[in-house]
A and B are shown apart, each in its own frame.
Chain A
Amino acid sequence: MKKRVFAWLTLALALVMAVGSVTFLGACVHEDGSFGTCHWASRALLGIGILLAAQSGIALATGHAGAYLCMAFTAALGLLLPGTLIRLCGMATMHCRAVMQPAMTLLNAGILILALAGFLLETRRAKRGTP
């Protein structure tokens, strides 16, 4: 477990992201029951969360540096999703802007840093020839 600590951490964050994007960290349904673009941003983040969890699983199982690198790129995409690639509500007090965006930014930034750290560690291990 100690050897794959970065993969465990990214797995935990990815699961929080996936579950959170459709529950407490997701976008709200509008008063009239319609969905805004923020709803689809939260759905896209669910996908990113699941993808990151799968990549973490691969990193856990194989310890391959490439899995960490994929994770870093996916997290970077996750960072850009809410607000940049998919527009959110125009009022800063809305749940998507006040909760979803900052929480997802923090989660993706965390995964990005951990994935890069994991990538460096695994690359160094591979160079040394240690499993």
Chain B
Amino acid sequence: MKSLPVKNLIRKPGRTAALMLLTAFLALAVFGGSLVVLSLRQGLNSLEARLGADIIVVPSEAQSKVSFQNMFLQGTTGAFYMDAENLKRVREIEGVEKAAPQIFLASLKADCCSVKIQVIGFDPQADFTVQPWIAQSYARELGEMDVVVGCKVEAGVGEILRIYDQRCKVVGRLAATGTGLDTAVYCNLDTIRLLLQAAEEKGVSHKVTSDSAADQVSAIYVKVKVGYDVGRVNTAIQGHTRKASAVRTRSMITDVSDSLAGISRTVTGLIGAVWVLAFLILLIAFAMIIRERRREFAVLRLAGMSRRMLSGLILRETALCSLLGGVLGVCAAALLAFPFATLIETALGLPYLTPDLRTVALLAAAAVAAAGIVGSLASAGAAWRLSRVDPGTILREGA
């Protein structure tokens, strides 16, 4: 008797497959949708952690072109420069705890790939944003022509990357951040200045405004002292720097957070709509199937099966079918969400970082359980009603 639900499911493969597909659709919507929303949240947290500064000072042109924000979010290349004098001025402002420069360079088509790559030069002595991140994968100091690559640049440790015909040795690969920073290459200031020079020699002008690349920086990352108002320090920086804009990282994160909230609402709405629709379809489908099988159940009742046993049989059958469908749906969602994570990230244009395995496993288990519960609930009413009807009446109806 225990194997009867399984036998029933095998006996009618078409019906079982149709019900499984319905619940698979439910699980796919829940698991896939939640995974995307979770990955976006994780990406936002990662962006917050990676920015690490309270204020970022960039040339006015970078701010107006929105190229700076796109560099972080979508990994687009950007090269803009301002007078390094601004760094000294920022450091002199009251309330500034640390100020670290970075120099950006957009490579030509690098030999590793067919796209431009962003090269970011930082000062290891002053830096407090990139260095802690790099230290996770490369503990030593970066030497001349040593580079560390983001996780989306396919170059292994020890490989040589040719940037503007200069041989740069890859000494480390960074952990994923889910942001545009994953497509960048990092080096120290000496290396980036050599690369800038090489670019100029190759006739690629990066519109460096001074005669010497040493007098230029692309961005200044500022950490505000505890107890000082970030807004006031930001205003002071705006007043003391030339041809530069100070951007509060909080406002950048708020912009991303707003976009994420919009996407979360849409995804949640879609999941809700799919669930309501699928639940209604399941309700109708189970009612029809149980009605169609009334004579079969009546025979079982006459064979000595109690009402409770009959309801249990129907519930076990639907729960099994729904759980299998749930597993199918989760697998289908995983097959789409994981291999195409980069495509999803690019399409959304927002930081996207897949959660760890434990979270994914919990999410998958919850989606399968939800599909099983919904399937069982949808059939519970029809099963209860059927168990109340007199089997003799059912059999006489068909006579």
A94 touches B343 (CB 8 A): no
B293 lies within 8 A of chain A by Cβ: no
Given A90-B112, A91-B112, A91-B154 in contact, is the A102-B183 Cβ separation under 8 Å? Answer: no
A40 vs chain B, min Cβ distance (A): 13
B120 vs chain A, min Cβ distance (A): 15
A105 touches B155 (CB 8 A): no
B264 lies within 8 A of chain A by Cβ: no
- Chain B, 222-239, CB within 8 A of any chain A CB: none
Q: Which residue of B has the minimal Cβ distance to A30?
A: B114
Give the residue of A31, A93, A106 whose beta carbon is less than 8 angstroms from that of B152.
A93
Give the residue of A32, A38, A93, A99 whose beta carbon is less than 8 angstroms from that of B183.
A93
Q: Which residue of B has the minimal Cβ distance to A32?
A: B109
Among B283-291, B334-342, B381-389, the stretch that binds chain A is B334-342
Q: Is the interface of A mostly helix, strand, loop or mixed?
A: loop
Given A99-B343, A102-B339, A105-B339 in contact, is the A91-B109 Cβ separation under 8 Å? Answer: no
Tell me how many residues of A have a C-beta within 8 Å of chain B. Answer: 20
A108 vs chain B, min Cβ distance (A): 12
List chain B residues, Cβ under 8 A from A88.
154
B267 lies within 8 A of chain A by Cβ: no
B16 lies within 8 A of chain A by Cβ: no
A98 vs chain B, min Cβ distance (A): 4
Q: Which residue of B has the minimal Cβ distance to A92?
A: B152
Give the residue of A30, A31, A99 whose beta carbon is less than 8 angstroms from that of B340.
A99
Tell me how many residue pairs across A and B have CB atoms closer than 8 Å: 60
Give the residue of A36, A90, A103, A105 whose beta carbon is less than 8 angstroms from that of B154.
A90
- Chain A, 54-101, CB within 8 A of any chain B CB: 88-94, 97-99
Given A36-B114, A94-B114 in contact, is the A106-B342 Cβ separation under 8 Å? Answer: no
- Residues 98-125 of chain B, each 1 if its beta carbon lies under 8 Å from chain A, else 0: 0000000000011011110100000000
B348 lies within 8 A of chain A by Cβ: no
CA distance A5 to B335 in the complex (A): 22
List chain B residues, Cβ under 8 A from A99.
340, 343
Q: Which residue of A has the minimal Cβ distance to B340?
A: A102
B112 touches A93 (CB 8 A): no
CA distance A76 to B114 in the complex (A): 28
Give the residue of A89, A102, A103, A106 whose beta carbon is less than 8 angstroms from that of B114.
A89
CA distance A32 to B113 in the complex (A): 13
A86 vs chain B, min Cβ distance (A): 13
CA distance A85 to B152 in the complex (A): 20
Chain B residues packing against A (C-beta within 8 Å): 75, 109-110, 112-115, 117, 151-155, 182-183, 335, 339-340, 342-343, 346
Chain A residues packing against B (C-beta within 8 Å): 30-32, 34, 36, 38, 88-94, 97-99, 102-103, 105-106
For the A-B complex with A30-B114, A32-B109, A93-B183 known, give 5 more contacts whose Cβ atoms are closer than 8 Å: A89-B114, A89-B115, A90-B154, A92-B151, A93-B75
